[in-house]
Amino acid sequence: MSSWKNHPWAGVFPATLCAFHENEALDEAGLRAYFAELAAVEGVTGLTCNGHTGEIMSLRPAERAQVTRILAETVRDINSRTGRSVKTITGVSAEGSLEAIDHALAAKEAGADAILLMPPHHWLRFGRTSQTAVGFFQDVAEAAKIPIVVHQYPAWTKAGYTLAEMLEMVQLPEVVCIKMGTRDMARWLYDYEKLKNAAPRISIITCHDEFLLPTLLEAADGALIGFAGFAPELMIEIVHAALDGDLARAKKAQQTVAPLARIIYNFGEPGCGAHQRMKVARWLLGKFSSPHFRRPVRPLNGGQIDDIRQRLKAIGFHPVR
């Protein structure tokens, strides 16, 4: 058995969509059904709500906790019936340490097993010092005492962490995993090796939906990706094959994944448009309760929806709407 299979923070972690009614209220029944479907899939290590795929920026603080609670309750029920140990992870996005601590404590109370800690987004504009970046994690770790997944942003942003900063972060006992979204492939293997050497207990998982197979084959312990919240079985097949070193099986899976990825990601990075196409595609396939995004995002028009419908049909899927 490969060592990754014994690691509690390795494998496939779908980043989940968020279901809304047409009036923008949370669709609790839709969320429970969707979370239950994903959690029941063999090979899912944990589910991540309130990420960018889950429209965290459009959720009020109480709603973030509500979504976390719904996920945690659903996962506990699945685990009790199956004997599995699927984890509940929830995103925390805040502009300051005190606010982040509040959100982390709310997530903990709602039943989260870990938080996905995003960088404060004002850093994207103004940057920050290394002391501030590492201190942010220290603040949340010490106050909330909950396992933390580091959310590494692309290297081209002012919010991405340097290797030196991550080497400090992984010394915090609360840090259990890095969601590596650097998108700097020239450094991918080097950073992985340095981090694993410094903290072997840490898992480093890719979130490069658009570079999934290359990152997995070069160096990774799993994947935390929105695409796994869309097509979990396909993502589990490609991730597990790559982690097992079965190149032929991984490439065969990639041939199935690639045309579907082009519908969702349109040759780009994950982003609001991709998440919207993902939600609409699942809804068209009868696997999501509604196609609605929250404002300020505007709905896709009829032509755009029909384009997704026709492209799904062209690669062998069967839309019901």
Six token digits for residue 175: 């840090």
Which pLDDT score is estimated for 1?
A: 38
CATH class of this structure's domain 3-246: alpha beta
Average pLDDT over residues 222-227: 97
pTM: 0.97
| CA-wise closest residue to 84 among 93, 75, 95, 96 | 75
Q: What is the pLDDT of residue 269?
A: 81
Structure tokens given for 114: 């870990």
Q: For the residues 116-140, what does the mean pLDDT come to?
A: 98
Q: Report the side by side order of strands in the sheet with 203-206.
A: 11-14, 222-225, 203-206, 175-180, 148-152, 114-117, 87-92, 46-49
Q: What percent of the chain has pLDDT over 70?
A: 99
Question: Which pLDDT does position 2 carry in this prediction?
Answer: 56
Positive or negative torsion for Cα 205, 147, 79, 25: negative
Question: How many Cβ atoms are within 10 Å of 81's Cβ, its own excluded?
Answer: 9
What average pLDDT does this structure show over 57-78? Answer: 98
Interval 260-303: pLDDT, tens: 999 999 888 888 999 999 999 999 999 999 999 999 999 999 99
For residue range 74-98, what is the model confidence (pLDDT) as tens digits?
A: 999 999 999 999 999 999 999 999 9
User: CB pairs under 8 A, 24+ apart, for 256-264?
Assistant: 257/212, 257/227, 257/231, 259/315, 260/231, 260/234, 260/315, 260/317, 261/209, 261/210, 261/227, 263/308, 263/311, 263/312, 263/315, 264/209, 264/227, 264/230
Backbone torsions φ then ψ of 239, nearest 5 degrees: -65, -45
Q: If you write DSSP's letter for every residue of 184-253 in order, what string do you get? A: -TTTHHHHHHHHHHH-TT-EEEE--GGGHHHHHHHS-SEEEEGGGGT-HHHHHHHHHHHHTT-HHHHHHH
**Residue 206 pLDDT > 60:** yes
**16: helix, strand or coil:** coil
Query: What's the CA gap between 53 and 226, in Å, rounded?
Result: 6
Q: Over the stretch 23-39, which tens digit does the pLDDT of each residue have? A: 999 999 999 999 999 99
The CB-side HSE value for 134 (13 A sphere, CA atoms) comes to 14
Q: In angstroms, rounded to a whole number, what is the distance separating the alpha carbons of residues 178 and 185?
A: 16
